[in-house]
Structure 1
Amino acid sequence: MTALAWVTFALALVLALVRIPSALRGENRLMMALFGLIALAVLLSIGGPYLAIDAALGGINLANLLLRFLIYAITLLLAVRVARAFSARSAQSALLGPWGLGALALVGAGTVMSFLLMGLLPSSVGLGAGDNHAWFDVYGELGRVYPGFTGVILLPSLLRALRGASLPALRVAAGLLAAGYAMLALTVIFPLMPDDWVAARQAMNYSSLLFLLTGLATIWLAGLMARRRAETS
């Protein structure tokens, strides 16, 4: 499964690097930042880099807490970008309105509280439960709630775009993004899976990221092709 993680990291890094020229021109800097954050988050999910970064932070799994908040930031920025790409104003309002931001603040506060109540644990990329399984379970489930929440908000708009988008490339992008968000929403059932299904959980996590990244890349390519056609017409 480490190979899939490195593939996801490499794709996110390449997508961030190719956006540097346009970002330097002041165009769509959000996307470069988003891909860069995704690359960092995936790197923190890989054993070697995680242990090295966590050691620099004190060796008490602060890197895992950093990873959680990176994921919250990524899911919000990603969801807003997708909502704008498909003119889903109601979804954007839900994400950035009182209920959406309130949900983010509540999940963030709960994440910090449950991390502290777990007690200090030896640095580990998997963040073992230690002696406090209850707060470990709360911490783990909160890390899935907000990303799943954004997926539930966006899915109706993506399914409409899958049927009705004017450009074939946008329909493909909508399908890829819908698959990614559906898989992301399904991660809330992880606690119901047997403990030895670690590989299945990792496959769902990385596959959802790959779907989302390729969906975003397809939107970018569609926009690039549309601009080129407009310039030559």
Structure 2
Amino acid sequence: MSDWIAGILAVIFTFLAIIRSPSVLHDQAKVRLWLAHLVMALALWLSVTPVYMAVDAVLGGRNIANLVSHFGFLVIFWLGGAEVALGLGRHDLYRLVHGTIGAMVLGAGAAAMAATFIAAAPEYSAMGLNPFRDDPLIILYKVLSYLYPGFVAAVLARPMLRASADSPGLLGPAKWWMAVGFMLVPLVPVAHLGELLHPGYAMVVDLVLYPAIIMVATGATLAFIARLKINRDASPNHRQQAEHTD
């Protein structure tokens, strides 16, 4: 991911995490979503080359920062997927992504991802592991890192798209953007597999991954704005002001 795109998205999610912090102190139910935004911000900051290189140097200069960022994305989909499912009122989907099946996919994917990273043993710090993409183990590591996110996105994309049509105000566009972004996520590991056939598929990965992150970030931002407006309209002071104006 280019540094300026990653930087902009990191700033957005950092802002969302900071602005949500006060509400978390008063409503424990919002902790999961706040943590998802916080971890997303940290993972995106690790996608900025100077930040990545500095952090990885502290961790030993062997791309542990890359592994940390991929574990971060697993946490994001574990937390965020649960919140999205509950937000849709779909407890069946919540049990699927956050229950036994989801835990098995997450655990197996995370263990296999870590094992392939250790086996590949990239020798020096490199953003995106780009110099090592001719190693099949590195490609497999990247594929496995999207196993659980792809599973969660595939489960939630269609219900989210349907819900967007019936949601009021900005919540409709917010869900639509997130749904389309989710649709792209399962294509990322497929594109990575293509790299085993030809290195040029690395460009396909970028063409799928960048829009997916941008669309999900757009949806999350619109949803936050929509919730602020809903809370403002529901506040007693706002109702009194509206009655006084009438």
* Stretch deviating more after TM superposition (218-227 or 77-86): 218-227
What whole-Å deviation, never above 9, does each CA across 1:64-91 have from its counterpart, x for those lacking one? 1111100100111111111122112121
Residue of 144, 147, 159 corresponding to 1:145 = 147
| Alignment correspondent of 1:135 | 137
| Alignment correspondent of 1:69 | 71
Describe how 1:1-233 pairs up with structure 2 within 5 A. 1-26=2-27, 28-128=30-130, 130=132, 133-165=135-167, 167-190=168-191, 191-192=193-194, 194-196=198-200, 198-231=202-235, 232-233=238-239
Report the Cα distance in structure 1 between the residues aligned to 2:134 and 2:119, rounded to whole angstroms.
8
Report the Cα distance in structure 1 between the residues aligned to 2:207 and 2:7, rounded to whole angstroms.
13
Report the Cα distance in structure 1 between the residues aligned to 2:202 and 2:6, rounded to whole angstroms.
14
Aligned residues of 2:3 and 2:47 also touching (Cα < 8 A)? no
Residues 151, 227 of structure 1: CA spacing in aligned structure 2 closer, same or farther, 3 A cutoff?
same
Post-superposition offset of 1:54 = 0.7
SS at 2:186 equivalent: helix
Report the Cα distance in structure 1 between the residues aligned to 2:150 and 2:171, rounded to whole angstroms.
23
Larger radius of gyration: 2
Post-superposition offset of 1:58 = 0.8
Residues 107, 14 of structure 1: CA spacing in aligned structure 2 closer, same or farther, 3 A cutoff?
same
* Stretch deviating more after TM superposition (214-223 or 77-86): 214-223
RMSD: 2.1
Residues 99, 136 of structure 1: CA spacing in aligned structure 2 closer, same or farther, 3 A cutoff?
same
Residues 163, 135 of structure 1: CA spacing in aligned structure 2 closer, same or farther, 3 A cutoff?
same
Report the Cα distance in structure 2 between the residues aligned to 1:120 and 1:159, rounded to whole angstroms.
40
Residues matched between the structures, number: 232
SS at 1:40 equivalent: helix
What whole-Å deviation, never above 9, does each CA across 1:149-186 have from its counterpart, x for those lacking one? 11111012112202333x13222121011111012122
Identity %: 25
Post-superposition offset of 1:119 = 2.4
Aligned residues of 1:37 and 1:74 also touching (Cα < 8 A)? yes
